[in-house]
Amino acid sequence: MAVIEVKVVNHSPNPLPEYATEGSSGMDIRAHLEVTKKLAPMERALIPTGLFFEIPEGYEIQVRPRSGLAIRQGITCLNSPGTIDSDYRGEIKIILINLSQEDQVIHPGDRIAQLIIQPVDRIRWEPVEWVAETQRNQGGFGHTGSQ
């Protein structure tokens, strides 16, 4: 397993994102709030983290929902998985939405999402006149499960 070094500036009182267990693939990231933030049903908000990353070229950090937050409070991340590109240098902020039928509260320091670092490959388009056929061919949405 490779260990990738990522430079980080932390303007929050929260600990840096960390793996909860030896087998965790995602690191929990926390809300950097002055006061609690109430989310009404179907309300979305951009939650600051106080973190700034310098991600190495050739990598991205993906932002994903936390399953516990989703099942207990109905809160999830929009634009999921979100991508933090290697050339972005602004504060990391997380788009949350309350999908429950009740008001939910995000407290300062709450774990609100998880981060996963991934290598990024680049493609080069190769214009052609046709593409090879497959068994599926043009079968679209739900095609493979229709039997």
pLDDT of 145 above 90: no
- What gap in Å lies between CA 24 and CA 21, rounded to an integer? 5
- The CATH number given to 7-122 is 2.70.40.10
Q: Domains of the chain: which residue ranges?
A: 7-122
Token reading at 123: 């493609």
Residue with tokens 């043009």: 138
Note the pLDDT tens digit of each residue in 76-106. Answer: 999 999 999 999 999 999 999 999 999 999 9
Note the pLDDT tens digit of each residue in 7-30. Answer: 999 999 999 999 999 999 999 999
pLDDT at position 58 is: 96
**What's the whole-number mean pLDDT along residues 43-51?**
98
pLDDT at position 122 is: 94
pLDDT at position 143 is: 64
**What's the whole-number mean pLDDT along residues 102-125?**
97
- What gap in Å lies between CA 77 and CA 66, rounded to an integer? 8
As separate numbers, helices (DSSP H) first and strands (DSSP E) second, the chain gives 1, 11
Alpha helices in the chain (DSSP H): 67-73
